[in-house]
A and B are shown apart, each in its own frame.
Chain A
Amino acid sequence: MRVDVVLRYIGVVMLFLALFMLLSAGISYVSGMDSAFYPLLLSALLVTLLGVFPLIFVEKTEQITNKEGFCVVVGSWLVACVVGMFPYLIWGGEFTLVNAWFESVSGFTTTGSTILTDVEALPRGMLFWRMSTTWIGGIGVVMFALVVLPSLGRNKLTLSSVELSTLAKDNYRYRAQIIVQILLVVYVGLTLLSTVMLKIAGMNWFDSLCHAMSACATSGFSNKNASIAFYNSPAIDWVLIFTMAMAGVHFGLIYSTVTGKRNNMFRSEITRWYFGILLAGAVLIAISLYAAEIYPTLGVAFRYATFQFVSLVSTSGYATADSNLWTSFAMILMIFGTLMCACAGSTAGGIKTNRLVLSLKMMRARLRQQQHPNAIIRIKLDGVIQDNEALHGVMVFIVAYLMLILLGTIVGTITGLDLLTSFSGAVASIGNVGPGFGQVGSMDNYSALPTMYKISNSSLMLLGRLEIFGLIQLFFIKWWR
């Protein structure tokens, strides 16, 4: 493996991050040169220097191998999280080393958990950088750089095939180079549309842009301490419900739907499952809340239930209510939503609806196989027969996912947290959702939690974002032939 080539492409990603730091510094300058200007400018300079250095030494290569591509992608994620801490650390405030790492990882992995007790105390430039990390992370650190930099040529294909999971590529009928462009068009389009709609709904331009960036990345970072509850506006709630739900759909399907292609999201089995679960979950939670007299009318209960459920399933993590006060039935449904999450090919994390549907079909096939031992049963998804390797991969992923949740829960309980907090925190972190229940509820934050728990959860976030094996593989790269 050519380490120098890997360093060169990680350098390209760093330059891209430096660009966003400069943009945030620009926002800071426009906002009256607030206290974030100096940390952001300084960080941008340092990251530029780090990024430019390998470019000076290493010449452009025509082809990179899969192994190198893998190292570029995983390395870029890790390096992005590290350099993403720089503005936070230099700015100070609540950002200690562990807190800055947590916030940076939470941003890039689009988890949206925070260690900040007072988000509103952050200057505008820093708020924008926080949202930038999450927006870049939403589509994928490397993917973003791929779209912006046209000079990568054939290497673009290798890198995009490494960063896009196999499941995510399923619904595309295009070449890899076009896929990357489609991703960006849908992502930017959805962000702009959401910004305008939020502005019309009553937010100011800055908040609209920040929340749109965060919602499209399914992150859940907010500029307000009380998250979306601060606005207490049904219009804003419904705009964000739409944005979050759409950000959880396969981007290729959104593109096909908008451009009037046949393989659109209404024909997709996965999307039908996804929207079906969203609707069913929201209705059941609303009935439960109304029956428990938590909300006065079924309409109000439906609004809050839909927002919170869509927020969790799409892995956003915004809050309009304290779900810790909701019924146990509502809580368990929401934990299910946190586990399941949205569709592959979107910005969401988690197990994903695709794997859930496939595992259900495998269970059904298993039952039928027992009834008819000689039958050859094929498992289809969207009319496509799934091969055994793909099915095996799904099951292995789900088992590994659940084992990591167990591990995260154990770490939580070791640090002295209660079971609900430890478990829901682990589920929310590995799924890149954000809020859980107990001390990590929708209206709480991670500031007072033990350092060990913060480190463990930030590791879970990275594992979840890199689909578990991506990160683990890095430790065994030596044996990769």
Chain B
Amino acid sequence: MIGMRKRVTVGFLSIVCLLFFSGMVSLVELSRLSRDTGEILSANKRNIELAKEMLDAAHEQNVALIHLSVFGDKSYDSLCRVSMARLENTLLVAQTEAVDKSFLDSLAFVTTELRLLTDNYLAFGVADNTGRALAVQSDSLAGKWYNNDYERLYVHLTAAIKNYMTSSQSSLAPRTEQMKKNAYRAVMPVLISLVVMIAIVLMLFYFMSIYCVKPLLRMNKGLGDYLAFRVPFVVKADLKDEVLELKEKIETLITISKQTKA
């Protein structure tokens, strides 16, 4: 015989288990979601920082070279070297941190070309077609070098940096897709658990109503009728539990009461 108390306890324990279970599932899945979101955001931020750093370095070097080649201001020599080194160091950091290094190949190639061109210029000035340094650098010649050789590479470099920035962003798409799946997985088990919980609560309500509340009401009415009008106490109890015991005890009490009166 399973008593009423045990039944009610099991019923409520089931609900508690489901609540705990759905809570745990959502907690695990949401923390995974939160971790993924954090990772994506920090990767995104880092990528923008590195790209900005490279663009700044390239711009600085460009300004320095304009001053050097066009205006002949030698004081920009060191700035040119420093910014080139800054560009290369940032690229190295990006290469170390990148998950997919293929996005950085073209950027590394253009940076190497730019380094060679800049080093050549700083060492020998403007070279002729055979690579021989010209003894006298005229303003127009340096301007031509800047326009024909350097600017072309500079444009390539900035394009490669921008490409790195956008490509890295697009490489985040699969992770975002995975994140979407995680969000779905976080929601769906909880939703299903909730549906199951609603079904269990409804069943519990129904069973409590027919096995506990109704027999008590019937007994109450039966006892009331017996006391008021001496109507025989006949109450139906469906389960072999405490309610049945109570009913039997009331019947015994009525019998004893009748015997005492007799």
Q: A and B: real partners?
A: yes
Is the beta-carbon distance between B181 and A92 smaller than 8 angstroms? yes
**Does B11 lie at the interface of the complex (its beta carbon under 8 Å from any beta carbon of A)?**
yes
Is the beta-carbon distance between A53 and B239 smaller than 8 angstroms? no
Q: Which of A4, A59, A90 contacts B210 (CB 8 A)?
A: A4
In the bound complex, residues from chain A placing their C-beta under 8 Å from that of B185 are 90, 92
A89-B188, A92-B184 are contacts. A59–B240 as well, Cβ < 8 Å? yes
Q: Which A-chain residue is minimally distant from B182 (CB atoms)?
A: A92
**Does A144 lie at the interface of the complex (its beta carbon under 8 Å from any beta carbon of B)?**
no
Chain B nearest Cβ from A434, distance in angstroms: 27
Q: Which of A42, A50, A56 contacts B189 (CB 8 A)?
A: A42
Q: Complex Cα distance A56/B208, Å?
A: 12
A56-B10, A90-B185 are contacts. A46–B193 as well, Cβ < 8 Å? yes
List which A153-176 residues lie within 8 A (CB) of chain B. none
In the bound complex, residues from chain A placing their C-beta under 8 Å from that of B204 are 53
A117-130 CB contact bits vs B (8 Å, 1 = yes)?
00000000000000
Is the beta-carbon distance between A56 and B192 smaller than 8 angstroms? no
A4-B206, A50-B199, A54-B203 are contacts. A86–B192 as well, Cβ < 8 Å? yes
In the bound complex, residues from chain A placing their C-beta under 8 Å from that of B235 are none
Is the beta-carbon distance between A90 and B188 smaller than 8 angstroms? yes
Q: Which of B2, B18, B181 contacts A49 (CB 8 A)?
A: B18
Is the beta-carbon distance between B240 and A92 smaller than 8 angstroms? no
**Does B55 lie at the interface of the complex (its beta carbon under 8 Å from any beta carbon of A)?**
no
B185-214 CB contact bits vs A (8 Å, 1 = yes)?
100110011001001100110110011000
**Does B7 lie at the interface of the complex (its beta carbon under 8 Å from any beta carbon of A)?**
yes
**Does A3 lie at the interface of the complex (its beta carbon under 8 Å from any beta carbon of B)?**
yes
Is chain B's binding surface mostly helix, strand, loop or mixed? helix
In the bound complex, residues from chain A placing their C-beta under 8 Å from that of B210 are 4
Q: Which B-chain residue is minimally distant from A59 (CB atoms)?
A: B239
**Does A254 lie at the interface of the complex (its beta carbon under 8 Å from any beta carbon of B)?**
no
Chain B nearest Cβ from A448, distance in angstroms: 21
A49-B14, A49-B196, A56-B2 are contacts. A7–B203 as well, Cβ < 8 Å? yes
A92-B185, A92-B188 are contacts. A58–B196 as well, Cβ < 8 Å? no
List which A1-51 residues lie within 8 A (CB) of chain B. 3-4, 7, 42-43, 45-46, 49-50
Chain A nearest Cβ from B111, distance in angstroms: 42
In the bound complex, residues from chain A placing their C-beta under 8 Å from that of B25 are 42
List which B12-37 residues lie within 8 A (CB) of chain A. 14, 17-18, 21, 25
**Does A479 lie at the interface of the complex (its beta carbon under 8 Å from any beta carbon of B)?**
no
In the bound complex, residues from chain A placing their C-beta under 8 Å from that of B10 are 56
In the bound complex, residues from chain A placing their C-beta under 8 Å from that of B207 are 4, 54, 57-58
In the bound complex, residues from chain A placing their C-beta under 8 Å from that of B17 are 49
In the bound complex, residues from chain B placing their C-beta under 8 Å from that of A43 are 192
Q: Complex Cα distance A58/B25, Å?
A: 31
In the bound complex, residues from chain B placing their C-beta under 8 Å from that of A49 are 14, 17-18, 196, 200
Q: Which B-chain residue is minimally distant from A43 (CB atoms)?
A: B192
Is the beta-carbon distance between A56 and B11 smaller than 8 angstroms? yes
In the bound complex, residues from chain B placing their C-beta under 8 Å from that of A4 are 206-207, 210
Is the beta-carbon distance between B192 and A90 smaller than 8 angstroms? yes
Q: Complex Cα distance A42/B2, Å?
A: 28
Q: Complex Cα distance A7/B202, Å?
A: 12
In the bound complex, residues from chain B placing their C-beta under 8 Å from that of A58 are 207
Is the beta-carbon distance between B196 and A57 smaller than 8 angstroms? no
Q: Complex Cα distance A116/B37, Å?
A: 30
Is the beta-carbon distance between B14 and A46 smaller than 8 angstroms? no
In the bound complex, residues from chain B placing their C-beta under 8 Å from that of A59 are 238-240
Q: Complex Cα distance A23/B207, Å?
A: 31
Q: List 25 A-B contacts (CB under 8 A).
A: A3-B206, A4-B210, A7-B203, A42-B25, A42-B189, A43-B192, A46-B196, A49-B14, A50-B199, A50-B200, A53-B14, A53-B204, A54-B207, A56-B10, A56-B11, A57-B203, A57-B207, A57-B211, A59-B240, A86-B192, A90-B188, A90-B189, A90-B192, A92-B181, A92-B185
- List residues of chain B with CB under 8 Å of any chain A CB: 2, 7, 10-11, 14, 17-18, 21, 25, 181, 184-185, 188-189, 192-193, 196, 199-200, 203-204, 206-207, 210-211, 238-240
Extra 18 A-B pairs, beta carbons < 8 Å, given A4-B207, A53-B204, A90-B189: A4-B206, A4-B210, A7-B203, A42-B25, A45-B21, A46-B18, A49-B18, A49-B196, A50-B196, A53-B200, A54-B203, A56-B2, A57-B211, A59-B239, A89-B192, A90-B185, A92-B181, A92-B185
